[in-house]
Amino acid sequence: MAKPWQEKFDTKKVEHIKRLDTNFADMKAGDLMLISTPQKIADYINSIPKGENRDLSQMRIDLAKQAKADITCPVTTGIFTRIIAERSLELMSEGKDPIAPFWKVIDPKSSLAKKLSCGPELIEKLRGR
């Protein structure tokens, strides 16, 4: 039986770009907003060189550039990054490799870090590797 986080990671959604009709978060009406996928975000995280970190803002910019959009949706990026982190934590608890080294993009001081089942302490420890 698949685990809930795995089911969410395996979503069959396709990355797409939407033109914003109104201002939203840090984006303006008319911007081309990328709505990515958990798989694309995991690929991005896996591409970060060993010993380097990015913040979610930089990841959103980089993903948008790759897709020829103006910016990546902050809401879905946060949700998908959490899915990656939680499934990775499940795998790690089973002695398996994570989907992606999520600690490279989640700041231990962020609200997202506080929502994770591991808490910010583990992220801080993993960043020290």
SS3 assignment, position 15: coil
Domain ranges of the chain: 4-127
By 3-state DSSP, what share of the chain in percent is helix, strand and coil, each rounded to 5? Answer: 50, 10, 40
- pLDDT values of the chain reduced to their tens digit, one per residue, 129 residues: 556 899 999 988 899 999 999 998 889 999 999 999 999 999 999 999 988 999 999 999 999 999 999 999 999 999 999 999 999 999 999 999 999 999 999 999 999 999 999 999 999 999 876
Angle between helix 74-93 and helix 56-67 axes, rounded to 10 deg: 110
pTM for this prediction: 0.93
- Taking CA atoms, 118 is separated from 90, 110, 122, in Å, by 10, 13, 6
